[in-house]
Amino acid sequence: MSTSKVGYDDTYDLQSKRLSIKKPDVRYDKQGEMTDDERVHKAMVHFAKDFGTTAAAYLDSCIHCGMCADACHYYVATGDPKYTPIWKLEPFKQAYKREASPFAFFYRLFGLKKKVTVEELEEWQHLLYDSCTVCGRCSLICPMGIDVASLVSTARHGMFKAGLVPHELHAVAERAEIDGSPLGVTKTVFADRLEWMEDEHEVDINIDKEQADILVVMSSIEIQKYPDSMAATAKILNAAGEDWTFRTDGFEATNFGMLSGNLDWQRDMSMRVINAAVKIGAKLVLLPECGHAYMALRWMGGNMYGKPLPFKVQHVSEYLADALNSGKIKVRKVDKSVTFHDPCQVSRRGGATRAPREIFKHLGVELRELPNGGDYNWCCGGGGGVVTIHRADELRYKVFKLKMEQVEATEAEALYSSCANCRQTFDDCQSHYKWDYTAESLLELVADSLQEDAA
Amino acid sequence: MDLLEFARGPALQLSIYVLLAGSIWRVLGIALLQSKPDYSEPRQAGGLGGALKVIWSRAFTAPAFKKATMYSKTLGYTLHIGLFVTIFFFVPHILFFKGIFGVSWPGLPNSAIFFVGVITVGVALALLIRRMTHPVLRLISNFDDYFSWFVTILPVATGLIIPIRFGVRYETLLAIHILSVALLLVWLPFSKLAHTFLIFMSRGTTGAILVRRGAKT
């Protein structure tokens, strides 16, 4: 049990298929004491605060063609027009036109854009959080090239400042800020679980080395739910002869500050890892099988740090592809047909789509790509913090049907992914639908297939 | 000064000034907002090359989206090509441009232009019906969408009427046609029609950012 600063009690539910806090009896989807006007004002000001040329170019260019709806799993699965991606920005679009656009004075003078109300923002909380995984598929269909996903993230900054974040997402983000983990992984818990894995898998795990070339970080989802990932990573790095370590002062890869829309927390969470890496003189921070961690550190870490990071950042799939290509590690052939679910933030949004395919080539499996997979893959439906939100469950299950159809079409023997958050979403939906496929870990497949003597 | 003189003279001139001033204001209003440096280590060069890549590549539809967007994209492209052909390949228009810019190019026969014009209006009507009936488009559409449709198609429609006459004087019809063009030019920079130039900004922005990451564009 932990008591939130915002005044509600939340208990982690670590037994369920997906990890979050337990379903709240009473929901607190509004945080802080503010008048309605203050909330609206804060949402708009903080939206406008990060407003730069990029967001303005996007919001000014929309021609209302509606094509983004056809790329969005929420619209495609439900047919409900409110899930049209650009509609999710509507109050913020109005605010932009009124407050910051080139013709703002004109809109205000003639009262052409109504002021946004708190009721609208509360309604939009569902659209900006429960029904957007920030997967960026819509960004690829837009004929104007508008990156709608980045606008949703910007809108979430305003929503956080206005205290309008879904209860569970706010709770886990706050735990991450205070405790260093969204799922209750303290330094002691982390060290204990590493020790357990060390015994269980008879693998040497390095903890808190003072100097190391590689700092390895993990997501709390893995630490709590898929701890074998930690052993798999250690086994591979040992086989590759790397100088590496876990650090108890910087182990958490997830960034719920980013997902919830709190830039200050996002910075704090990134800085824990960055500081630990700098302290040990790391040349590489190795990110785990976690999609948004890649976005947070690989593509936003330097911007949180305020200068280029003094080390490289790789997703574990990129590291594995490099290590296999260079012969640092070798794997036995695996005789089966597989399909792969690309995590949005690593592949489509992050640019590392090739890495898993190179790994599969080394494994000699028969890779059956998902129809419209790879960069155009349907999101699992659990990204962007959505999987934590209980009231979003029904919708998430509905959306997952697209994923099931996609996977079933391949008739592959096994399904792999390289994101623990995707995997827990698959687990949860698998149990909901009594589905045959389980999303397994690509990292663990490599670790299990390692030719240790050949390395 | 009769109506035609007014349309050809001050009305058209003023509309061009408004078009230019409004467009410059709109572009500067966006470009002069803050832009934050990106400190992440690029996977490859983004910048201008990335911008140009996406400005070009987004003209094509990815196979994953072909089925869903086939109808509206076919209509959309036909509308744009129709507008382009009728504006730039009608012989009197070419003479008009020659008067301003001093250069000319071969035109198409009047009958061909008339045919393209009719197709353009037909396609525009189909797009309007789609906007008014498709649940997504109904929800997201506003005054700008409908009025922009109107001012875009008005010059085509008024142009098509000129040879038919309906008993009205040629000069009057021509004046109405030119005034409709003036309305279009005045409305363009303040509306969604500004996508004629904003398309380069939005596609370019995405290209510069996402190509740098090596992400899918």
ipTM comes to 0.95
**Chain B residues 154-183 within an 8 A CB cutoff of chain A:** none
Is residue B216 one of the residues assigned to a domain? no
Which residue, chain included where needed, has tokens 């594995």?
Answer: A320
Asked if residue B120 belongs to a domain, the reply is: yes
According to DSSP, the β-strands at A366-367 and A439-441 are unpaired
pLDDT, residue A162, reads 95
- The DSSP code sequence of B111-160 is HHHHHHHHHHHHHHHHHHHHHHHSHHHHHH--HHHHHHHHHHHHHHHHHH
Structural domain for B145, as ranges: 3-12+62-197
Q: Does residue A130 sit at the B interface (CB-CB below 8 Å)?
A: no
pTM of the model: 0.94
Q: What DSSP state is assigned to residue B36?
A: -
Q: How far apart are CA B29 and CA A133, in angstroms?
A: 31
Q: Name the residue of chain A whose CA is nearest to B200's CA.
A: A144
Cα torsion A100, A102, A105, A106: sign: negative
The one-letter code for the residue type at A347 is: S
Q: Which two tokens stand for residue A238?
A: 């040992």
DSSP state of A86: G
By the 8 A CB rule, do A404 and A416 touch?
no
To which residue do tokens 């200050």 refer? A264
Q: Which pair of tokens denotes residue B111?
A: 């009958």
Contact residues on chain B for A51, CB-CB shorter than 8 A: 33-34
Per-residue pLDDT of chain A (455 residues; tens, 9 = 90+): 344 554 445 788 888 888 889 999 899 999 999 999 999 988 888 887 777 899 999 999 999 999 999 999 999 999 999 999 999 999 998 888 888 888 888 888 887 777 889 999 999 999 999 999 999 999 999 999 999 999 999 999 999 999 999 999 999 999 999 999 999 999 999 999 999 999 999 999 999 999 999 999 999 999 999 999 999 999 999 999 999 999 999 999 999 999 999 999 999 999 999 999 999 999 999 999 999 999 999 999 999 999 999 999 999 999 999 999 999 999 999 999 999 999 999 999 999 999 999 999 999 999 999 999 999 999 999 999 999 999 999 999 999 999 999 999 999 999 999 999 999 999 999 999 999 999 999 999 999 999 976 54
Q: Which residue of A has its CA nearest to B25?
A: A102
Residue B101: how many CB atoms within 10 A of its CB? 8
Which residues fall within 8 angstroms of residue B5, CB to CB, at 6 or more apart? none
Q: Is residue B42 part of a domain?
A: no
Residues in chain A: 455
Using the Cβ of B35 and the Cβ atoms of chain A, whether some distance falls under 8 Å is answered with yes
Distances, alpha carbon A207 to alpha carbons A179, A212, A239, A304, B205, in Å? 19, 10, 17, 26, 43
Work out whether the CA dihedral B145, B147, B151, B156 comes out positive or negative.
positive
In a domain, B75, yes or no: yes
Q: Measured between CA atoms, how close is B101 to chain A, in angstroms?
A: 29
Q: Which residues of chain B have pLDDT under 70?
A: none
What's the CA angle centered on A300, arms A390 and A387, to 5 degrees?
10
In a domain, B210, yes or no: no
Cα(A365)–Cα(A446) distance, rounded to whole angstroms? 12
What is the model's pLDDT at position A9? 58
**Is B45 contained in some domain?**
no
- What per-residue confidence (pLDDT) applies to A112? 75
> Residue A453: its pLDDT value, please?
63
| Number of domains observed in the structure of chain B | 1
Q: Residue A61 is nearest to which of B62, B73, B195, comparing CB atoms?
A: B195
Q: Which of A59, A87, A101, A299 to mutate to test the interface with B (most CBs of B within 10 A)?
A: A299
Would you state the pLDDT for residue A445? 98
Residue B36 inside a domain? The answer is: no
Quote the mean pLDDT of chain B. Answer: 96
A81 and B43 in contact by Cβ < 8 A? no
Instruction: Answer whether B195 sits within 8 Å of A64, measured CB to CB.
Output: no
Cα A229 versus chain centre, distance: 17
Which residue of chain A has the CA closest to B53?
A145
Which domains are delineated in chain A?
Answer: 36-161 (1.10.1060), 184-322 (1.20.1050), 330-454 (3.40.50)
Residues B205, A54: C-beta atoms closer than 8 Å: yes
